[in-house]
A and B are shown apart, each in its own frame.
Chain A
């Protein structure tokens, strides 16, 4: 083998070894950095105006980058069950300052800024502020009124303002007819299960954002659980009327022909009766944790 050839072979061995080392090292650095960054998240520049000035004519591009960061920031925190969404507002603030017409950013932001922890930052007032800015910059977009009504309805429980928001949005020529109906329904009933289901379903059907969709789906699941439990409780009352005692198991309702089969929650786990005789989620159902979290935040 000539010296040139043996060098070539040596290189062919050394390079994969070197890259294996790089790979290994990178994993360690990642761990190290994660531990060290968790102390506080980094966002050096928080002034949207300054960033916009610095990004010259590329502000929309910068907006896209900040938007991507915002989405990933939320996704990452959410996946790690980290309830601290401190940077969500500055990121969205920067994004929408850089590109005031980035509609998705407002909608995404209004949801996750307002939702209580651990789903969101728990700052409905920031969500509203963001939407107000969105409306000012994009007066032709009626769905911001839907989002505004949403926050008033779900987070702030201010049904008058929620109704007003839907009514305002319904005046928009492009808006859909249900906006008007919602305005009236909320004004009359305040919070109701059917309104909540309708609103989340609307979000679920129309959004393209996977995180927003997931979130809506999870809310819909919990709402269905709520509906199911209400129905089961009603059936248990019926059972008590017939037999004079509360059912201990859901199966007794089936045996009594009150139900065709064992009812299951949206994740496929059968409901059970709690110690107080009320229908509740199965202890194994993953929905239970979400339900508890939601109840705690209320």
Chain B
């Protein structure tokens, strides 16, 4: 029973599921990594963790662009009938905000390294040189983007927590398939 790659009107295909969890893991991992790298005492470890954070940031950006393209090309399944009117309105807003933050976080990080007077090149996973964004370098611009990146990170992790709490509520309280359909992909047999 091969899993379907595309979504149906009620279920997610495996592409959406893989992208969702991969991005979720990187997103939360990046928050933890970002938190640790700013507090570690060894300058060497900090430098290496920051480069790793940049590498995963660029990976995240690529995956998010792919995910948004996929979402636009393969409509998400609709919410179950049991979902109330408030949540029916709130969920798409939170989902839109989550997509916006998934894009804004790596972009603001990219802007931050681009404007930094330190001029440290970005070489994701030591594979290739990622050019800087065409923004003017200055300490003021670096402070601005550092603050923006920091606020977006906390907003992002807050929304992830909200999204996660909603998923648990669906599974344990409402006992519907909202969480499980993001775990088990639609099979080709189901689709037929």
Same complex origin of A and B: no
* Residues on A facing B (Cβ under 8 Å): none
